[in-house]
């Protein structure tokens, strides 16, 4: 996979690693189309990286993903100043907002 971007002022098509976020005028290509890409006459194609095979994640990438998963799995801390428990019903707990009546 690769992302294609055009630099019209320089008559250049830039083909690089798959973008991590969407931008206007960027196009994601599969490996086969990225490999066969040609540009219009008078234009240059810049290939920023080997886009045929995805790079293996680095140790930092793996640790960052693990940290993100841990953070997402952590239950949110209750805000005792904002809510007061008033009862339980099975697995549910009824909360009353102290700002409302």
Q: Which domain holds residue 22?
A: 2-47
Domains in the chain, number: 1
Q: Is residue 21 part of a domain?
A: yes
CB 94 within 8 A of CB 85: yes
CB 30 within 8 A of CB 1: yes
Q: Is residue 80 part of a domain?
A: no
- Cβ atoms < 10 Å from Cβ of 47: 14
Q: Is residue 85 part of a domain?
A: no
Instruction: Report mean pLDDT in 10-residue bins for the chain, 101 residues.
Output: 88 88 86 89 86 68 84 74 57 69 58
pTM as predicted = 0.47
Closest CA to 51 of 35, 37, 27: 35
Q: Is residue 15 part of a domain?
A: yes
């Amino acid at each position: 996979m690769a992302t294609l971007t055009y630099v019209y002022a320089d008559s250049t098509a830039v083909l690089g690693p798959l973008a991590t976020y969407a931008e206007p005028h960027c196009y994601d290509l599969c490996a086969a189309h990225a490999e066969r890409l040609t540009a219009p006459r008078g234009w240059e194609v810049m290939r920023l990286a080997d886009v045929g095979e995805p790079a293996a994640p680095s140790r930092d990438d793996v640790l960052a993903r693990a940290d993100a998963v841990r953070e997402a799995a952590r239950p949110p801390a209750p805000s005792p100043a904002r809510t007061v428990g008033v009862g339980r019903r099975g697995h549910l707990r009824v909360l009353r907002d102290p700002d409302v009546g």
